[in-house]
Amino acid sequence: MQINVLEEINIDDFIFVGALPDMGRVGGLVSSHLVHKLNTKKIADIIINDKPWINQEDGLVSIPSDKYELWIDEKNKIVIFTGDNQPQEPTSVMNLTGQIMKKVQDIGRIKLIITAGGYLPAEEKNEQEIFAVATKDEILKELKHYNILPLGPDVNSITWFNGLLMGFAKKNNIDGMGLFGIINDADSPQFKTASNIIKAIEKITQTRIGTGELDERVNPPEKEGKLEGPGIG
């Protein structure tokens, strides 16, 4: 893994939002939307070469890689980590999480870590609902004021980067929350869910963001078929 720092930044008491594509690509939609809508500038590129193959074109070999990015909105004191996919191997995603958090902590003191993702429940629920996990009971109580309830017992693990990020926050005594919105299809982008989560982040961070671009891409929900939940990741 290679981290190419574009600009060194030092601020304290900032919010770190980190989320990568998961079920319904929700995490990636949320983080990329924040980058697009806030007044951000890129401060680092992260390159990973963890594919168990090589590419070739006209007999010439090339090594496939994935790029992730760190952005900052200095006015609102929000740092964002985003990317188009998750690493391929467990060791890669664990290494990525550790290295990214080391770099983010170099920026300064983190006030709050937020991650996001899709939630496919065991039983059909209101698509407007968002559920949460948090590092402290006090955070869960505060989220209830925004009608965000704790995640229920049908899910007992949260995998890959979006889950490991909460583990890092817990281990390092940093306030953290994961916001997981209801999806109806794990394989297609869930723009409505991402929009719901962005609206929640607006309230929690008291930051004006907007969801127009996401709302324009929402397709009418399909009523046919059966949910095959539960799941997060």
Q: What is the pLDDT of residues 180-194, one digit of tens each?
A: 999 999 999 999 999
Determine the pLDDT at residue 225. 46
User: What is each CA distance from 191 to 25, 68, 159, 210, in whole angstroms?
Assistant: 9, 21, 21, 13
pLDDT at residue 227 above 70?
no
Lowest mean pLDDT among 88-97, 200-209, 219-228: 219-228
In a 13 Å sphere around the CA of 214, the CA atoms on its Cβ side amount to: 25
pLDDT at residue 232 above 80?
no
Determine the pLDDT at residue 224. 43
pLDDT at residue 79 above 90?
yes
Determine the pLDDT at residue 88. 83
- Digit-coded pLDDT (tens) for 153-175: 889 999 999 999 999 999 999 99
Please answer whether residues 162 and 233 qualify as being in contact, where contact means their C-beta atoms are separated by less than 8 angstroms. Answer: yes
Please answer whether residues 183 and 128 qualify as being in contact, where contact means their C-beta atoms are separated by less than 8 angstroms. Answer: no
185 DSSP 8-state letter: -
Helices (H), the chain: 26-37, 90-107, 137-143, 160-171, 191-205, 212-216
120 DSSP 8-state letter: B
Please answer whether residues 183 and 157 qualify as being in contact, where contact means their C-beta atoms are separated by less than 8 angstroms. Answer: no
Determine the pLDDT at residue 152. 87
Angle, vertex CA 189, rays to CA 123 and CA 39, nearest 5: 120
Determine the pLDDT at residue 219. 74
Q: For 22, phi and psi rounded to 5 degrees? A: -140, -145
More confident residue, 153 or 204: 204
- Digit-coded pLDDT (tens) for 115-155: 999 999 887 766 668 999 999 999 999 999 999 999 988 89
Distance CA 22, CA 159 (A): 9
More confident residue, 121 or 108: 108
Average pLDDT, the chain: 93
> How is the chain split into domains, by residue range?
2-216
Burial class (CB in 10 A: 0-12, 13-18, 19+), 104: buried
Determine the pLDDT at residue 128. 65
pLDDT at residue 23 above 50?
yes
State whether CATH 3.40.50.2300 applies to domain 2-216: no
